[in-house]
Structure 1
Amino acid sequence: MLDLVALVLVVVGVGVLFSPKRAYAFPLLGVGLLLLVLSHSFVVVPAGHVGVVFNILRGVQPAPFGEGVHFVVPGLQQVILYDARVKEVTLSAPHEGERRADTSIRARSKEGLEIGVDVTVQYRILKERAAKLHQEVGPNYLETLIVPQVRSKVRDAVGQYNAAELISTQRTALETSVIQGLEETLLQYHIELVSVLLREIRIPETVAKVIEEKQTAEQQVQIEINRRKQAEIAAQRRVIEAQGERDAAILRAEGEAKAIELRGRALKAAPEVVQLTFAEKLAPGVQTVFVPSTGNFLLDLRGLQGGGQGR
């Protein structure tokens, strides 16, 4: 806006210079040129950015500008803005319907199979070291540094594993390997690695089919093993139950034998108990009395009653 005002004043001053009112031309030109100089004397660094200052006499200044308004000497100092926020780059194959170039990474597995990898890398420059980045790499650090390094580290990591491992057990290990290699390299060039996301790993269809069939066979074997284990557990349960029933029967038999033994001892010690037990077992209609004597005999009341009546 200030540039536009200065330009208008300069144009008007030039026009007045060739008119009868040329006395106003020089003040207008002076104010216009002054505004033009002032408009180039202040630089605004937006939020999330950093300004690297290049001095034509001294080169790149080590301390970059932070966010806000800064004064520079027009014609002597130049400010190059760098975005210091988290940024990302994605290298992937186009999906169905997309019209763009295939930027995915092609690598070879440990056994030599071609593997396709889609990856997203998140990064950001280190603000305090932006001047070094500008000196050593420049503003095009994404194309000249990050993308080639990502491709190289992914290829190196993929070559450490078999194809079957990459799509099953070693996916996380592959990601960790890429992070470790890339993090160290980028830090040397004043860039912080935020994360590496393996979006997709593709192997040849024929290999994928073989791996799928192998996994299906392994699952069937595992199912059969589980069934056998369940049958063994059920058999063991039945054995334990039978042993429990046997032990219980033995204990009952032992208890009954002990009771008989104790009862025999009691009868032997007191024979009268036999008579009492016998009397308790008689039917209520039997008219019989027990007369205790040394001979232990029984009297028939019916016979006695019949003999009395005959007299």
Structure 2
Amino acid sequence: MAAKVFESIGKFGLALAVAGGVVNSALYNVDAGHRAVIFDRFRGVQDIVVGEGTHFLIPWVQKPIIFDCRSRPRNVPVITGSKDLQNVNITLRILFRPVASQLPRIFTSIGEDYDERVLPSITTEILKSVVARFDAGELITYLPSGQSVLLQLPQ
């Protein structure tokens, strides 16, 4: 009699553990300041951007790709030539964040490491074009107000 009770408790415990595992694999969290894009194995990247909170997905079919949408700093060191052809070693600090509505497009065209692929080349080219306008003496003179020069560039 006791063996049957323990056997039924064991079966119930196993069923409960399997059900808990399936439910746990169907949930995912998106933290504050983050957004998620859903990759479906059958339909590809969905155009829906998922906000903060706990969400459901189809286990083993869908996968959330979570992006950080908070402003993050990045320092880009560049050695470039000035107007009088002298080498200038300058570092640009930028704050960047992705546009949340464009995350599916960013993920499909560039990937999760968009900041490593895109930001260095863009910031290097912009910084080179700004530094090339001035000679070395002007750069030293305009260094405190150099921020206003960079902000006037087209986005």
**Would you say same fold, with TM above 0.5?**
yes
TM-score (norm. length: structure 2):
0.86
In the TM superposition, residue 165 of structure 1 has moved relative to its aligned partner by: 1.5
Aligned to 1:146: 119
Greater helix content: 1
Equivalent residue number for residue 163 of structure 1 = 136
Partner of 1:61: helix, strand, or coil?
strand
Distance across 2 between alignment mates of 1:26 and 1:147: 57
Higher relative contact order (CA 8 A, sep 6+): 2
Larger Rg: 1
Where does structure 2 lack aligned partners over 5 or more consecutive residues? 1-5
Per the alignment, residue 67 of structure 2 pairs with 82
Give RMSD over aligned pairs: 2.2
Equivalent-residue separation in structure 2 for 1:50 and 1:176 (angstroms): 33
Give the aligned partner of residue 50 of structure 1.
Answer: 35
Matched, 1:116 2:116: no
Displacement of 1:156 in angstroms is 2.1
What's the CA shift for 1:149? Answer: 1.6
Pick the aligned partner of 2:79 from 101, 106, 117: 106
1:61 is matched with which residue?
A: 46
Q: How does 1:131-210 map to 2 (within 5 A)?
A: 131-169=104-142, 172=145, 176-177=149-150, 180=153, 183=155
Shift of 1:153: 1.5
Separation in structure 2 between the aligned mates of residue 56 and residue 179 of structure 1, nearest angstrom: 44
Shift of 1:166: 1.4
Contact kept? 1:109, 1:161, Cα under 8 Å: yes
Q: Is the 8 A contact 1:42 1:72 kept in 2?
A: yes
Cα deviation, residue 137, structure 1: 1.4
Per-residue Cα deviation, 1:200-248 (whole angstroms, up to 9, x for no partner): xxxxxxxxxxxxxxxxxxxxxxxxxxxxxxxxxxxxxxxxxxxxxxxxx
Deviation at 1:120, TM superposition (A): 0.5
The whole-number CA distance in structure 2 between the counterparts of 1:81 and 1:134 is 10
Give the distance between the partners of 2:148 and 2:93, measured in 1 at CA.
Answer: 11
Deviations along 1:278-306, one digit per CA (max 9) or x if unpaired, are xxxxxxxxxxxxxxxxxxxxxxxxxxxxx
* TM-score between both structures, scaled by the size of structure 1: 0.45
Is the partner of 1:79 in helix, strand or coil? Answer: strand
Change (3 A) 1:175 1:138: farther
Q: Report the secondary structure of 2:15's partner residue.
A: helix
Q: Does structure 2 conserve the Cα–Cα contact (< 8 Å) formed by 1:153 and 1:178?
A: no
For 1:226-265, list aligned pairs within 5 A.
Answer: none
- Larger proportion of strand: 2
Distance in 1 (CA, whole Å) between partners of 2:44 and 2:58 is 14
Query: What is the Cα deviation at residue 22 of structure 1?
Result: 4.5
Structure 1 alignment gaps of length 5 or more: 1-20, 92-103, 184-311
The superposition leaves residues 149-198 of structure 1 with CA deviations (integer Å, 9 ceiling, x where unpaired) of: 212221122112211111214864675347625x3xxxxxxxxxxxxxxx
